[in-house]
Amino acid sequence: MRPAALTSARSRLTGRTLSVIFRLADAMALVALAGAAAIDTRATTIAALTPFLAGACAMSWSLLIVGSYGLAQRERLGSHLARVAGGLDLAGLVMGVLLAGFRPLALPLGDYVTWYAGCAGALTILHGGWWLIVRRWRAEGRLTPNIVVVGATANAELLVQAAMKTREAAVLGVFDDRAGRAPRDIAGVAMLGDTQALLDHRIMPYVDKVVIAVPQVAHDRVRELIERLSVLPNEVMLFVDQGPAGCAAALSRIAEAPLAPVSGVARDERRALVKRVTDLVIGTLALIALSPVMALIALAIKLDSPGPVFFRQRRHGFNSEEILVWKFRTMAEGSDRGPIRQVTLGDPRVTRIGRLLRPLSLDELPQLFNVLAGEMSLVGPRPHAVGMTTGDSLSAKLVAEYAHRHRMKPGITGWAAVNGSRGPVDTIELVRRRVALDIEYVERQSLMLDLIILLRTIPCLLGDKLAVR
């Protein structure tokens, strides 16, 4: 049931994200065709231009209305193109009514009919391509969600069997608190341990959803599992048994009933796509603008102390995935060996150039490469080092909700940073405050909030004299 190669949840597209991309591509094609037709026919008046633009809007709307972007698992190419044709017919009807209201026409009716026919042909070809792309990516497992099942029950067996039959989800493993009494596998899917093993399992960064398959009548057990698994950054869902047909339906719409979300943040594909586009645009412009500054910093580091210019460290990313975060080296070479110890005031490990870079967070500039690679975002919870300690304890073990901050990609700056939580978190109170601010950001995230945080970052750095970095 496992794919040939596991890829992290952040690296894989969802069907919803792909459908948004297809809609944008269709809209861009329609606008381009409308512009070309306007130029070709010398349509310069509002009366002449309006049918082209309104027709493009009608086609986009009608394709969405008839479900042309649903991309169902078992839909054949002929059925999909028939659905597209139905949407185009609806758009043609709307455009016919529109043209009837614009008489006398500024252009001959034939010009609009020719343009409509060209758009219909282009959209048919595009959707044939979309169908082929989705079919191929599904066969390769690139659009198949990875799930783990909690509970070695009859429900779990039904769900696994349905997944094997439809291939709409990859079941990576089964966990059960009663591992001693549970079978070694469920319908061929291996038992990987109890729920404590699930919390710390290295497979979790590759898991999209955790599905609790315990019978709903076992109220106490369900409640206990939900409470225990709520600390995970992964989305936790409850499978309500509806027989074999219910299993197939659950896999077909894995984010909807009969899978009821009970924990975790459901992914908002549109919001994630907007955030990614923002990261790429602003991140690319920032990298170009700051390249001279980064080159001077690199030269200064090389002249100041022996060792490499860059420092790379394993930190927690989205879904607790371990990523390599880039920074300018600000400590003496070799000082990073051993346990991850946070920087303190007057820390002797910090170099002379490091004492200049760290207060203004200039050492973080290479993380723009992590942003462009999709491992980080411009704005988000700051990535903490794997194994980072607060006092003698692992920071991740001090606050139950710590992993909730991993429900979003880590950022170069963030809500916590602009609200005074910068630098080390060397007491449990500071860890709790950082986690609380990070969770607040995860729940409130929007494009507007990200832009506000970016605008507040530079004044915050310049006025933050007391932060230890």
Which of the two residues, 307 and 257, has the higher pLDDT score?
307
The secondary element (H helix, E strand) that includes residue 120 is helix 109-139
Mean pLDDT of 39-47: 70
Domain 146-263 CATH (choose: 3.50.50.60, 3.40.50.1950, 3.30.110.30, 3.40.50.720):
3.40.50.720
Name, in order, each residue with C-beta under 8 angstroms of 109's C-beta and a sequence gap of 6 or more: 99
Q: Beta 259-263 vs 310-316: how paired, if at all?
A: unpaired
Q: What percent of the chain has pLDDT over 70?
A: 81
Task: Report how far residue 289's alpha carbon sits from residue 271's, in angstroms, rounded to the nearest whole number.
Answer: 27
d(C-alpha 107, C-alpha 34), whole Å:
14
Q: How many CA atoms lie within 13 A of 281 on its CB side?
A: 7
**Domain spans of the chain?**
9-139, 146-263, 269-462
Q: CA 398 to CA 401: how far, in whole Å?
A: 9
Query: What is the pLDDT of the chain when averaged over all its residues?
Result: 81
Each residue of 413-463: pLDDT tens digit? 999 988 888 777 777 888 888 888 998 998 888 999 999 999 998 887 776
pLDDT value for 257: 34
**DSSP secondary structure code for residue 204 in this structure:** G
Q: Taking CA 70 as the corner, what is the angle to CA 66 and CA 76, rounded to the nearest 5 degrees?
A: 95
Please tell me the distance from the alpha carbon of residue 114 to that of residue 174, in angstroms, as a whole number. 58
Q: How far apart are CA 111 and CA 97, in angstroms?
A: 16
Specify whether the CB–CB gap between 3 and 141 falls below 8 A.
Answer: yes
Candidates 132, 166, 171, 156; CA nearest to 3 is 171
pLDDT surpassing 90 at residue 388 = no
Q: What is the pLDDT of residues 55-77, one digit of tens each?
A: 888 898 999 888 888 777 778 89
pTM value surpassing 0.75: no
What backbone torsions phi and psi does residue 406 show, to the nearest 5 degrees?
A: -90, 10
Task: Give dist(CA 15, CA 143) in Å, integer.
Answer: 6
Instruction: Give the residue, 81 or 196, on which the prediction is more confident.
Output: 81
- pLDDT for the residue numbered 377: 94
Average pLDDT over residues 347-359: 85
256 pLDDT more than 60: no
